[in-house]
Amino acid sequence: MTGDDILLQARLWWWQRTSAMALAFCVLVHLGVIIYAVHAGLSAASLLGRTRGNVVFGAFYTLFVLACAIHAPIGLMNVAREWLGWRPRPVGWLAAAFALAIVVLGLRAVYGVVVA
């Protein structure tokens, strides 16, 4: 294995660990938000009324999306390398495409409830 690969793996591990910590926090808050929303019996209109223009809400879910976009593709990469025996390069492309998809879909949703 080349030196670059070692460096990359060690860094990817750091990013995955760090994003996991962010996710642990985000998932808890997210569950809280869901429970709150359900208990309050809110309708779609009143939900949007609370999320529109809410900077904190927008910032929180942007962080959530970014943490997912970092965490999930790295895990997928490891699975593809280990179980499917894919080479690092195609695996890298696959992970990048997956990360992009999460970012686009996720941020679009955030945009939809906060801005649009």
Partner 1 sequence: MQSLLTARIWRGGSDGAFVTYEVPRQDSQTVLDVVTWVQRALDPTLAYRYACRVGMCGSCAMTVNGRARWTCRTHVERVAPHGILDIAPLANLPVIKDLTTDMADFFDKWTKAEGRFQGAATRRQDFARVAPDSRQRRAVDAAIECIGCGVCYASCDVVNWRPDFLGPAALNRAWTLVNDVRDIALRQRLRAVAGDAGCHSCHTQGSCTERCPKNLAPTSAIAGLKRVTAQAAMRRKL
Binding footprint of partner 1 on the chain (CB under 8 A):
1, 3, 5-7, 9-11, 13-14, 17, 81-82
Structure tokens at 30: 């997210």
Closer CB to partner 1, 5 or 105, in the complex: 5
What's the min distance (Å) between Cβ of 114 and partner 1?
32
Closer CB to partner 1, 41 or 82, in the complex: 82
Closer CB to partner 1, 10 or 55, in the complex: 10
Classify residue 84 by its DSSP letter: S
Closer CB to partner 1, 5 or 29, in the complex: 5
What's the min distance (Å) between Cβ of 12 and partner 1?
8
- Are 19 and 102 a contacting pair, CB within 8 Å? no
What's the min distance (Å) between Cβ of 88 and partner 1?
9
Cα dist from 3 to 8, 9, 52, 86, whole Å:
9, 10, 48, 19
CA-based torsion, 39, 45, 50, 52: positive or negative: positive
Phi, psi of 42 (to 5 degrees): -80, 145
